[in-house]
A and B are shown apart, each in its own frame.
Chain A
Amino acid sequence: MPAHLSRRIPKLSAVQRDRLLVSVAVVVGLALIVLAVVYWAEPAKSLPSWLPGHEAGSDHHHVKHGIASFLLGVACLVFAWFRSAGPRPGRAAV
């Protein structure tokens, strides 16, 4: 990045970066869990066309896509859970 541009962007402190990371992980985690419910509840024909698994006219439920999405969502929430605990002296966080 050019020097004159990087000077204009304020640098985030470590605490702010952590908070941002935790917020992103929580939002993404919840979104993935909602997506999992959509996969389980809706047949392939009713999924939005931009979503992997959409098939026009198919009544198949993408259970495995739902499980994959759910597990990733839970992983994001677990990451946020550990990360939001903050640093403790002499201890290693995940």
Chain B
Amino acid sequence: MLGLLQGFSELFPISSLGHSVILPKLLGWDIHQNDSYFITFLVATHLATALVLLGFFWHDWVRIVRGLGRSLRDREIAPDDTDAKLGWLLVVGTIPAGLLGLLLEHKLRSVFASAQSAAFFLMVNGLLLFAAEALRRRAPQPESGDPDARVARRLSWRDAAGVGTLQATALVPGISRSGVTMGGGLLVGLSNEDAARFAFLLATPIIGAAAALKLPELFGSQGNGVRGPALVGALCAAVTAYLSVRFLMRFFETNRLTPFAAYCLAAGLACSLYFLAV
């Protein structure tokens, strides 16, 4: 069940980490997010999600990696080489999030480990999504052509660094990585569809690297007794992640972040009141 939830909530802008902290508390499960077996389980589900994202955007990644190679060989980014520009935008966006994640992950997870704090930040996430839709520079316009090229043309290096840095806020349970990156994309002028695409492309290396860093724990002694459930969880996460990314890419062609903002605000508020009452 946690695997299904993880794959679904990792890509929806509703904070997978927040849900994996709140749900066990609501259902009375004896799971804590800093327990080693739970972290090992999460590593497997994150790896599955990253692989699904990589597979879903495989053709984009092949073009992006080729573009990166071309630009390194030529020592320049040709103005018409949107694949290379998008690749370097993703690198520029990944560096700040990666650095902050490496240095702050443990501290932030320790400080904000409680379900109460996750419920509060889920409300904050809802407000951020509402704010991103309200403060966006322009109304979304139906656009044609290659979506990767549109993103590459519209984003500046500073925009990519800013949107990438926002990802680090998702280290706090309750704040959604895809939510803040989609919101950031809207604020720098992307349409909902392009903001979602950029958010998923930006998420792939971060989720994959975070999982790869902790793979030794999964295959080491810490993974004893967890590998079976982790494998089942990873398969469930892969299925729901694939369905989620497919649904979301279609959803954002014509829709906005507003329904997710309303859900986060309502769920966060309801859970906060419940935790205060019990």
Contacts and interface: CB of A to CB of B under 8 A. Distances in A.
Interface of A: 64-65, 67-68, 71-72, 75, 78, 81-82, 84-85, 88, 90-94
Nearest to A92: B79
B163 to A, nearest CB: 17
Contacts of A93: 76-77
5 contacts: A64-B102, A71-B98, A72-B99, A82-B75, A92-B79
A71 B99 contact: yes
A94 B77 contact: yes
B135 interface: no
Kindly state the interface size class of chain B when it binds its partner: 10 to 19
A72 B99 CA distance: 8
B72 A81 contact: yes
B77 A71 contact: no
Given A91-B79, A92-B77, A94-B77, A68 B72 contact: no
Interface in B57-107: 71-72, 75-79, 88, 91, 95, 98-99, 102-103
A82 B75 CA distance: 5
Contacts of B78: 91-92
Contact of B102 (A67, A78, A85, A94): A67
Nearest to B157: A94
Nearest to A84: B75
A90 B71 CA distance: 15
A65 B88 CA distance: 23
A71 B91 CA distance: 11
Interface string B197-232: 000000000000000010000000000000000000
Contact of B103 (A68, A91, A94): A68
A33 to B, nearest CB: 15
Nearest to B99: A68
Given A64-B102, A94-B88, 19 more contacts: A64-B213, A65-B103, A67-B213, A68-B98, A68-B102, A71-B95, A71-B99, A72-B99, A75-B95, A82-B75, A82-B76, A84-B75, A88-B76, A92-B76, A92-B78, A93-B76, A94-B71, A94-B76, A94-B77
A37 B78 CA distance: 35
A91 B81 CA distance: 11
Contacts of B72: 78, 81
A21 to B, nearest CB: 15
Nearest to B209: A67
Interface in B146-191: none
A70 B75 CA distance: 21
Nearest to A93: B76
B49 to A, nearest CB: 21
Contacts of A91: 76, 78-79
A84 B78 CA distance: 16
A94 to B, nearest CB: 6
Contacts of A67: 102, 213
